[in-house]
Amino acid sequence: MKYDVVIIGSGFGSLTAAALLANRGLKICVLEQAKYPGGSASSYKRKGYWFETGATTLVGLDQHMPLRSVLDYTGIKVPLVRLEPPMQVHLPNGEVLTRYGNLEIWIKEAERVFGPHRQREFWEHCYRISQSVWRTSTRQLSFPLSNAKDFFFSALRATPGQVMLLPGAFRNMEDVLRKHNLLQNKLFVDFVNEQLLITAQNYLHEVNELFGATALCYTLYSNYYVPGGLINLVKPFIEFITSAGSEIKYGQEVGSVKPTAEGYLIRTGKGGFESNFVIAGIPLNNTLQLFDDKKVQRRLQRYLLPSEQLNGAFSMGLILKGEEAKQVLHHQVHIPEGLPIIGSKSIFISFSHATDTFRAPAGEVIASISTHVRHPQQTLIENKSELEQAILDGLIKHGLIRQENILSVQSATPGAWISWTRRAYGAVGGYPQYRHMKPWQLKDARLDHRGAYICGDTVYPGQGIAGVCLSGMIAVNKLVQDHF
C-alpha cells in the first residue's frame, strides 16, 4: 500500500501532524519503534503502576495556544483536571514560593519572597511579551521562512504587534533583568535560571527575551493534569487518527528514507513503506542518519547540536504509600551545592493526583522525578545509588516525601533513554535556546524542499508539549502550502 504521508515516530509533534492530515482526508501511517505511542509525552506501565515517560506538565490550552487550536479544529476530547496553583519552588533559603496562575496574586507572592523592588514591572513586562508570542505563534505557521511562499503568507498575516516583538530576539533574559535592576538579587537570579532550565533548557545569559519571557510565564496560563497519565492525552489522538482510516504501526524502527520517482521509500527492519510525503518526528541528530541525500545532510548539518550543548536527564519513579494528598502536584527543589556526579542544581518532582486510582491504588501515589544531565554522551553515571540517595535526601529535607513511605524506587540514566527512545545521546527536553540562534535561524519544517518535512523538539519552536504541538502544525501547514 502507498500512503499519502508516512510519519516517523509517534511523539506529540508527530501525532499533531497525523491528526491534522487525517482530518483533511489523507491516508497516514505513523511508524513507532517502541510499543507505546507518545514518545517523551506519554506513560508506561510497570508492575501495575503507570509512570510518566518524560513530560509531566501540560499547558497550551488557552486561547491562541497550539493545543487549543488543534483540539478545536479536530474535535478531539482530552480528559483534564485544571491545577491551581500549578507549582511550588523550594528555594535555597528555605522559602517555599507558590507559582500562582493569577498574575496579580503571583506578583504579590514574588514580592513577598524576592522583595518588592521592580518585581511588578518585570512580570507585567514578561506576561505582555508571552501573550504576544502565543498570539503570533498560531498565526505565523509559515515561520521560519525558507521559500517565497513563506514570505508571502507571513507578510499577509503580519500585524504591528508582531513587528514589535522583533527587538526581543536580540536581547537575552540577562539584559531584561539588568534593565529592571534585578541582577543583584541573587535569590531571584537563581530562581530565574532554574526555571528557565526546565522550560528553555538553558540559563538567562543564553535565552532570548521572546522565549525566556514566555517560558517564565507558563505557570500564568492554564496548567492541567491528565487522569491516568499523559498516555490519556495521546490515546484520543491515536483513536482519532485510526478512526479516520489511517494507521499507527509499532515496533517499526526506521533505518532509511530514500526518495523515489513518485515519493519516498521508508525502510524499517520489518519491511518498506511507500508514501508521497514523509514527516520525521524524531530529533535532527537521528533524522540526519536516515537520509543518504547529500543535499539533505548538508542542510541539516549546520543546525545540529553536539552532546556538549545538550541535556539528558536522570529520572526516577517512586511509589509512595501513606503520603498526605498534595495540594500542589509539581515542585522544583533547588540544590545549591549541586547533586553528586552530575552537578545539577535543581530537581523537578510531579505527584499523581490523589483521586487518580488508575495510575496507583487508593492510598498510594506515583512520584515522577527528573534532573538535568549536561553533555549526556560524556557524563557516565555508574553509581546510580549515590545519585538516587542524594535526590531522595533533598526531597525529604524539603518535606516533599518521607523515607518510610517509599515502597519502590526505579531510575533511568541518559543511557536508558537511548535504549528506550533511540534519541541521540539520550538527550531530552529538546534543543536548548542559545543567544546566537535567533528564532528565524532555527531549523524550519522543510527537509529537502521536495516532500520531506520535520517536526519535534529540535526544530522551531522547541521545547514542551505546546512547542512540539506547534511544530506539528507548522509541518502540516508547509506541506499543504507546498503541495495542495
Query: What's the mean pLDDT in 140-150?
Result: 97
| pLDDT tens digits, one per residue of 105-131 | 999 999 999 999 999 999 999 999 999
The mean pLDDT of the chain is 96
Work out the pLDDT band at 325, boundaries 50, 70, 90.
confident
What percent of the chain has pLDDT above 70?
A: 100
Residue 383 has pLDDT above 90, yes or no: no
Query: What's the mean pLDDT in 233-247?
Result: 98
Residue 96 has pLDDT above 90, yes or no: yes
Domains in the chain (CATH in brackets) are: 2-80+226-305+432-483 (3.50.50.60), 101-224 (no CATH), 307-426 (3.30.70)
Ranking 23-27, 54-58, 283-287 by mean pLDDT, the lowest is: 54-58
Query: What's the mean pLDDT in 289-294?
Result: 91
Work out the pLDDT band at 7, boundaries 50, 70, 90.
very high
Query: What's the mean pLDDT in 163-169?
Result: 95
| 32 and 87 Cβ atoms separated by less than 8 Å | no
Beta bridge partners of 98: 88
Residue 1 has pLDDT above 90, yes or no: no
pLDDT for res 324: 85
